[in-house]
Structure 1
């Protein structure tokens, strides 16, 4: 037998430590060579660690949320010359517990064949019911009347619900009682319609991506004096153009609003360089960037990530659409590289159809501005003396008031508005 110490390798330039996001193994588990053992986070990139040897895990560096310095012990594994290690106690325990889930599922079956002990105690004299019987025939077997309308009985049959197990809130079983039964089950006791289910308190440790988001947002609000400007934009012509482009796109990706909006932003920014900037408040230096490295706030299962479209000003709408899709897929699958998640000079955040009427997005420090398009809605508007239907969208921009004045922010949004309301100018110099 030999003890192998797997030390956390250097997983990024300038990284001195990484956070344990989650373990794929536990002490006593058998691991094979190249088997995933842990997820480690540096900045906003999560890296999966793999075991370089086969053996039995004898020690772990810590719990999820702990920081591990580069070069220190991550996992200790007991290996032998033969590479044969007996199954661990944890494996045997899991194997022994494996049948529990299907047994529970069978006990909760709606046909009553595996009714829980509590339900059996309440109705121990009730004979087993043939699930093929109609509700009226079930009444006869039970020997007692069940008051319910034909519509309720038909729905109960369709849902596989035994009406004998349903507790009516009043004198007869109604649809609301069936809804409550589906939520709470037989013998559990449920509230009348209109009340919500009570849930137990839950304590969730703030680690990994969620902790990084919390720290970054707190620092942004603590250090940056935000202000937000919102303007309404008529995107009727833009949406018509988008539909025409999509109709003839061929093998190219389907266009959303974002590529067109990015083109407008990139065309307007040269006249407003103070928005495409980063502020080092410790050094007292503002860097105005010539290239637009646009961060795209993307919701993932791990939390909010911001992949970056490099040199957005040099890409056409189809190239932007392809890059947006690629980066979003990489972020959501956890495959985004560290360099794809850093270096943005301006951020665009969109909730898509959930965009709301207006938003006040928080700046992605050390940037000085963030842009948030909101939901497109159709409303009547005046065109001269006529009332017509128009598609309208509010556009929000939050700025760092130490660097960007209100006049500059408003003027920038108005420039973007002109391009979006007359979208032909998006494609001309």
Structure 2
């Protein structure tokens, strides 16, 4: 038997260190070739680290949340044969087996190779289990999908008995745990909804959540934010959208408002090139871009991600709609590639029906502008002396005052307003 050492790989792009976000194995586990061992986090995306060998895990080289240098020992695996352990590696002190962090929502993955869990037939489902006694800091084995399912159900995984290999918790185990809870309810043993609670859960800020926190803090500390809010009558553009969907939806796909907003950005930026820009404040250089690469803020299970619609200036409404949908699906499922999450020149953010009436979006550095979309509401408006019901929507946008003057920001938003209120002008060249 020998030892195969896996070192932190060179992710590329000049990255010298990465954050260890999550382990998918523990000491003593048997692993197979191509099985995902860990997730590591770069400045841009989550990356899977697969196993190149079959074997048994001997030691783990770090804890989730730890920043590790490229080339440092990530994991040691016992294998058949001589392995690849070099004399220089033997001089490196291997850390003792570690306890894994408290449960957190699994971070998204890039080009993931998910482990497919077989689901037994109903006759083979595990019998209902009583709660398992585990330490508060002990992290049971479970796939990201199972962790998400448990979170949605409000189940603490450390209380669930796992029936999979090495005690891995499966979806069926969650069903069995719920079934046990239902039986307890019939027996009257479940506490009342008014009973006092004293439980606590500590969630380490690591992985994607740490990156989001760092970027938001950096943005508010470095940029001189100011916001500008304007209401827009979107009745006409909504009527156009409904007409196009009725006529072409079956063959070209349904349109949301976002492609119209992207088109409005493209047209308005022709007159405001200083807003389609990125500011390197260390080099004191502003780069104005001819291409419009629109970042579309997308909420995922682990937080906000910003996939990029590249060359929006060259896309039709349906092309933009298809690309927005594709990127959003990739981001939410953890399949977005690193280059799909970087390089935007201006960002569009929207909470849809939950958008409220006003917001103060934070800049996506090094960009100098972000356009925030609030929800559409019907309101009585006075038009030519008559009170009529119109569909109204606010744009809440933020700018970097170091680069963008207040007058230019206001004129830019007014240009977008004019384009959306007279939607035919979106397509006049």
| TM-score, normalised by the number of residues in structure 1 | 0.76
Measured after TM superposition, the shift of residue 73 of structure 1 is 1.3
Quick one: distance in 1 between partners of 2:66 and 2:344? Answer: 28
Measured after TM superposition, the shift of residue 186 of structure 1 is 3.6
Residue 181 (structure 2) aligns with: 108
Measured after TM superposition, the shift of residue 107 of structure 1 is 4.6
Measured after TM superposition, the shift of residue 202 of structure 1 is 2.2
Deviation digits for residues 90-139 of structure 1 (CA, Å, limit 9, x no counterpart): 998628999997876555344xxxx5xxxxxxxxxxxxxxxxxxxxxxxx
SS in 2 for 1:218: helix
Deviation digits for residues 239-271 of structure 1 (CA, Å, limit 9, x no counterpart): 000001111223322111110011011101121
Quick one: distance in 1 between partners of 2:179 and 2:409? Answer: 62
Is 1:300 aligned to 2:326, yes or no?
A: no
Quick one: distance in 2 between partners of 1:98 and 1:419? Answer: 50
Tell me if structure 2 keeps the 8 A contact 1:295–1:309.
Answer: yes
Residue 394 (structure 1) aligns with: 394
Measured after TM superposition, the shift of residue 288 of structure 1 is 1.2
**1:227-246 correspondence to structure 2 within 5 Å:** 227-246=226-245
Quick one: distance in 2 between partners of 1:78 and 1:380? Answer: 72
Tell me if structure 1 keeps the 8 A contact 2:379–2:392.
Answer: yes
Q: Taking structure 1 as reference, are residues 82 and 32 closer, same or farther at Cα in structure 2, changes over 3 Å only? A: farther
Quick one: distance in 2 between partners of 1:96 and 1:248? Answer: 48
Q: Taking structure 1 as reference, are residues 275 and 35 closer, same or farther at Cα in structure 2, changes over 3 Å only? A: same
Quick one: distance in 2 between partners of 1:266 and 1:277? Answer: 13
**1:264-279 correspondence to structure 2 within 5 Å:** 264-279=264-279
Residue 287 (structure 1) aligns with: 287
Measured after TM superposition, the shift of residue 302 of structure 1 is 2.3
Residue 188 (structure 1) aligns with: 191
Residue 157 (structure 2) aligns with: none
Measured after TM superposition, the shift of residue 44 of structure 1 is 2.3
Tell me if structure 1 keeps the 8 A contact 2:237–2:421.
Answer: yes
Residue 64 (structure 1) aligns with: 64
Residue 335 (structure 2) aligns with: 335
Residue 224 (structure 2) aligns with: 225
Measured after TM superposition, the shift of residue 397 of structure 1 is 1.2
Tell me if structure 2 keeps the 8 A contact 1:61–1:68.
Answer: no
Quick one: distance in 2 between partners of 1:254 and 1:102? Answer: 37
Deviation digits for residues 313-368 of structure 1 (CA, Å, limit 9, x no counterpart): 11111110011011111111111111111111111111111111011100011111
Quick one: distance in 1 between partners of 2:367 and 2:384? Answer: 41
Residue 33 (structure 2) aligns with: 33
After superposing on structure 2, the runs of 4+ consecutive aligned residues of structure 1 that deviate more than 3 Å are: 90-93, 95-110, 196-199
Question: Runs of 5+ in structure 1 lacking a partner?
Answer: 84-89, 116-160, 166-184
Quick one: distance in 2 between partners of 1:221 and 1:399? Answer: 11
Residue 365 (structure 1) aligns with: 365
SS in 1 for 2:413: helix
Quick one: distance in 2 between partners of 1:104 and 1:273? Answer: 58
Quick one: distance in 2 between partners of 1:40 and 1:270? Answer: 40
Quick one: distance in 1 between partners of 2:295 and 2:56? Answer: 43
SS in 2 for 1:279: strand
Deviation digits for residues 41-61 of structure 1 (CA, Å, limit 9, x no counterpart): 111211111100001000111
Quick one: distance in 2 between partners of 1:220 and 1:96? Answer: 39
Tell me if structure 2 keeps the 8 A contact 1:44–1:209.
Answer: no
Residue 403 (structure 1) aligns with: 403
| TM-score, normalised by the number of residues in structure 2 | 0.76
Question: Runs of 5+ in structure 2 lacking a partner?
Answer: 84-140, 142-163
User: Quick check: 13-22 or 220-229, which moved more?
Assistant: 13-22
Measured after TM superposition, the shift of residue 69 of structure 1 is 1.7
Quick one: distance in 1 between partners of 2:339 and 2:61? Answer: 27
Q: Taking structure 1 as reference, are residues 390 and 104 closer, same or farther at Cα in structure 2, changes over 3 Å only? A: closer
**1:157-196 correspondence to structure 2 within 5 Å:** 186=189, 188-191=191-194
User: Quick check: 380-389 or 313-322, which moved more?
Assistant: 380-389
